[in-house]
């Protein structure tokens, strides 16, 4: 009423005016993430702070071999996203491999607990949540963990990956490659680091120096540097990772009797001590998968999905040859039915030539507290398709368990950018106690196969015998009677050197030796110089 007592009419409640651009974007997202073929359900669309339960954000199962990237700041929910993807892949019959760096992924083997907070979140998202566990096989590098020991021979590991672990420069890396080739040509198996040390020592001492001079100009000083680096790596306990029996890659691509994909978790509890070694071991697994698996083309579902956590460790201080090999592996391995998902804090941790080949992007919260981080944020935003919202602002305001997503649709085109509320995993979010895991690991059939190391005849033993055979026999002292009687002995006839063979004549030819050195430099042992013992 007014001051004079006259009633004023009530103003009608105004409905918010719909934003045509936002409505069009929501419709495009709904259509863009609707697929006829099987797909993983990552979560639901978030329209601002409001979840949209009828708009599911999916990833086509057949497009996972186009690889992906999950990144975001520490504590933003990357591990939970990885857990959700691993659960659904396993349920779809796709085996999974992942490195369990913090131990949190061991919760996959334990059904989750439905707390009130969790159930309220799942109801708001329209998620039909029930607790469930997944089939998991636990592995460990060497014998330092709970899981089945994973070992690799130095020969199959190859010179490029080993040079990355040892921190060698380009010249030292090429010299190591020639040493590996020399051992291959002479049938000297490099099973462990002790074998490699024996080869390096042989080439720098005694009769081995002459053979070293024929290795394309490899210097004794360079071999000495490599030898010291190998010795330092042994001192860090890396001997436990090299040896036999070597893991058969088929054991990573198994399913259960009811068709669920087995999740292989590699325990990496001491990552901070030897980060280069751990990341190189993961790359060795990928290279071996590429070398051993047959071609399948674009299958309806991947044969294996490989989650590469802490991916920045792989690319830090890497040589050009190494980065080129990684890019080639990522590009070609999809035809073998293997999908790779890199998990790291920032997309700038991954080289551009690798980043350009990743089809799915799941970007959690980005923090921009410094000028450098602000520049990185702008560069990240520029790599996403445009939407109605300020993506730079959205990325900084994402909550835990939220992400910005774009994937490749079934037609190969990128889907619209979607702010996503990630679903809750059905298993436990957090580690499973070691005392719960230990009995099952001990009963694993793989533990019976790989649990005990084998020390066979290899380069160290072979070179030791060779040195002993080449050593001159000690002269026998004259008998007492001969010394007393002064018996005169005829001198032994001089040995005449046989005519050199055709091979020896060719080896002395300067031109032939130069051609041999050039051929040695060009020899490839596979993408990463790996060679699995057949």
**Residue 21, pLDDT score:** 76
Q: How far apart are CA 420 and CA 32, in angstroms?
A: 14
Q: Name the least confident of 115-124, 242-251, 282-291, 383-392.
A: 383-392
For residues 293 and 97, what is the distance between their CA atoms, to the nearest angstrom? 15
pLDDT of 141 higher than 80: yes
Tokens read off for 508: 């002395």
- Residue 362: name the closest of 304, 315, 422, 308 by CA: 422
The dihedral built from the CA positions of residue 122, 125, 128 and 132, taken in this order, carries a sign that is: negative
Instruction: Give the lowest-confidence range in 253-262, 388-397, 514-523.
Output: 514-523
**pLDDT value for 130:** 94
455-484, pLDDT tens digit by residue?
888 889 998 888 777 766 555 555 555 445
The DSSP secondary-structure symbol of 167 reads T
Selected residue with higher pLDDT from 507 and 202: 202
Q: What is the pLDDT of residue 475?
A: 56
**pLDDT the model gives residue 235:** 83
Sheet (strand 50-60) strand order: 50-60, 39-47, 418-422, 402-406, 360-363, 68-71, 338-344, 304-309, 96-100, 263-267, 136-141, 148-150
Query: What is the pLDDT, as a whole number, of residue 105?
Result: 92
What burial class does residue 187 get, using C-beta atoms within 10 Å of its C-beta: 0-12 exposed, 13-18 middle, 19+ buried? exposed
- The answer on pLDDT for 511 being more than 90 is no
What distances in angstroms separate CA 512 from CA 203, 367, 507, one per listed residue?
Answer: 22, 60, 7
**H or E, element range at 263:** strand 263-267
Ranking 53-57, 213-217, 351-355, 445-449 by mean pLDDT, the lowest is 213-217
- For 32-51, what is the mean pLDDT? 92
> What's the pLDDT score for residue 474?
59
| Residue 401 contacts residue 44 (beta carbons within 8 Å) | no
Provide DSSP, 127-164: ---------EEEEEETTSSSSEEE-B-HHHH-HHHHHH
**Cα(129)–Cα(40) distance, rounded to whole angstroms?**
15
DSSP string, 78-92: HHHHHHHHHHHHHHT
> From residue 71, how far is each of 189, 344, 350, 361, 381 by CA, in Å?
40, 5, 10, 8, 13
Residues 6+ apart with CB under 8 A from 387: 25, 416, 417
Q: Is the pLDDT of residue 368 over 90?
A: no
118 neighbors 130 (Cβ within 8 angstroms): no
pLDDT in tens, 301-344: 899 999 988 888 888 877 787 888 888 888 889 899 999 999 99
Domain segments of the chain as ranges: 27-150+256-316+323-450, 152-243
> Quick one: average pLDDT of 51-60?
94
Radius of gyration of the chain (CA): 31
The answer to whether 338 and 306 have CB atoms below 8 angstroms apart is: yes
What phi and psi, each to the nearest 5 degrees, are found at residue 290? Answer: -65, -40
How high is the mean pLDDT of the chain? Answer: 83
Structure tokens at 25: 């974007």
The pLDDT assigned to 40 comes to: 95
Locate 249 and state its tokens: 């890659």
The token duo for 515 is 């051609």
CB-based contacts of 157, cutoff 8 Å, min separation 6: 242, 280, 284, 530
pLDDT band at 146 (very low <50, low <70, confident <90, very high): confident
The C-alpha atoms of residue 394 and residue 404 are separated, in whole angstroms, by 8
pLDDT of residue 180: 92
The reported pLDDT for the residue numbered 7 is: 57
Q: Which CATH architecture has domain 27-150+256-316+323-450?
A: 3-Layer(aba) Sandwich (3.40)
Residue 507 clears pLDDT 50, i.e. is over it: no
- Indicate whether 87 pLDDT > 90: yes
**Cβ–Cβ < 8 Å for 55, 421:** no
Higher pLDDT, 458 or 21: 458
Least confident range from 36-40, 133-137, 319-323, 525-529: namely: 525-529
CA atoms within 13 A on the CB side of 133: 10
Task: Please give the pLDDT value at position 506.
Answer: 40
CB atoms within 10 A of CB 490: 5
What does pTM read for this prediction?
0.82
Examine the pLDDT at 496 and tell me if it is beyond 50.
no
- DSSP for 416-458? PPEEEEEPPPSB-SSPPPHHHHHHHHHT-HHHHHHSS-B--S-
């Amino acid at each position: 009423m007014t001051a004079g007592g006259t009633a004023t009419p009530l103003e009608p409640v105004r409905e918010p005016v719909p934003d045509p651009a936002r409505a069009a974007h929501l419709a495009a997202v709904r259509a863009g993430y609707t697929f006829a073929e099987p797909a993983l359900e990552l979560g639901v669309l978030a329209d601002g702070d409001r979840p949209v339960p009828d708009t599911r954000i999916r990833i086509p199962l057949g497009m996972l071999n186009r690889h992906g990237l999950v990144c975001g700041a520490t504590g933003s929910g990357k591990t939970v996203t990885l857990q959700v993807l691993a659960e659904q892949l396993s349920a779809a019959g796709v085996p999974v491999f992942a490195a369990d760096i913090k131990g949190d992924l061991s919760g996959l083997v334990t059904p989750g607990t439905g707390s009130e907070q969790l159930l309220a979140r799942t109801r708001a998202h329209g998620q039909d949540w029930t607790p469930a566990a997944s089939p998991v096989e636990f592995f460990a590098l060497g014998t330092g963990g709970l899981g089945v020991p994973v070992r690799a021979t130095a020969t199959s590991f190859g010179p490029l990956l080993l040079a990355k672990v040892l921190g060698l420069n380009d010249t030292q890396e090429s010299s190591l490659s020639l040493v590996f080739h020399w051992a291959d040509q002479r049938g000297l198996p490099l099973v462990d680091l002790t074998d490699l040390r024996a080869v390096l020592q042989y080439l720098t001492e005694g009769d081995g120096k002459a053979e070293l001079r024929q290795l394309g100009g490899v210097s004794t000083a360079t071999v000495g540097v490599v030898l010291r680096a190998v010795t330092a790596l042994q001192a860090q306990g890396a001997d436990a990772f090299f040896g036999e029996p070597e893991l058969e890659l088929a054991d990573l691509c198994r399913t259960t009797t009811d068709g669920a994909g087995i999740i292989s978790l590699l325990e990496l509890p001491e990552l901070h001590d030897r980060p280069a070694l751990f990341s190189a071991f993961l790359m060795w697994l990928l290279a071996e998968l590429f070398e051993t698996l047959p071609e399948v083309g674009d299958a309806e579902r991947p044969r294996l999905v490989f989650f590469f956590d802490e991916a920045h460790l792989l690319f830090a201080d890497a040589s050009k040859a190494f980065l080129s090999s990684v890019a080639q592996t990522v590009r070609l391995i999809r035809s073998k039915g293997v999908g790779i998902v890199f998990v790291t804090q920032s997309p700038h941790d991954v080289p551009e030539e690798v980043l350009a080949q990743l089809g799915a992007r799941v970007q959690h919260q980005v923090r921009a507290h410094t000028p450098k981080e602000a520049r990185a944020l702008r560069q990240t935003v520029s790599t996403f398709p445009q939407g109605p919202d300020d993506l730079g602002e959205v990325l900084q305001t994402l909550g835990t368990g939220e992400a910005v997503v774009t994937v490749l649709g079934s037609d190969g085109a990128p889907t619209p950018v979607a702010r996503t509320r990630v679903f809750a995993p059905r298993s436990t979010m957090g580690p499973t106690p070691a005392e719960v895991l230990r009995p099952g690991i001990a009963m694993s059939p793989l533990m019976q196969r790989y649990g005990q190391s084998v020390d066979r005849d290899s380069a160290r033993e072979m070179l030791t015998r060779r040195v002993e055979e080449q050593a001159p026999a000690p002269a026998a002292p004259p008998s007492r009677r001969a010394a007393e009687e002064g018996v005169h002995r005829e001198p032994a006839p001089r040995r005449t050197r046989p005519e050199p063979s055709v091979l020896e004549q060719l080896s002395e030819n300067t031109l032939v030796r130069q051609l041999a050195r050039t051929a040695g430099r060009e020899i490839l042992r596979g993408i990463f110089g790996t060679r699995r013992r057949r």
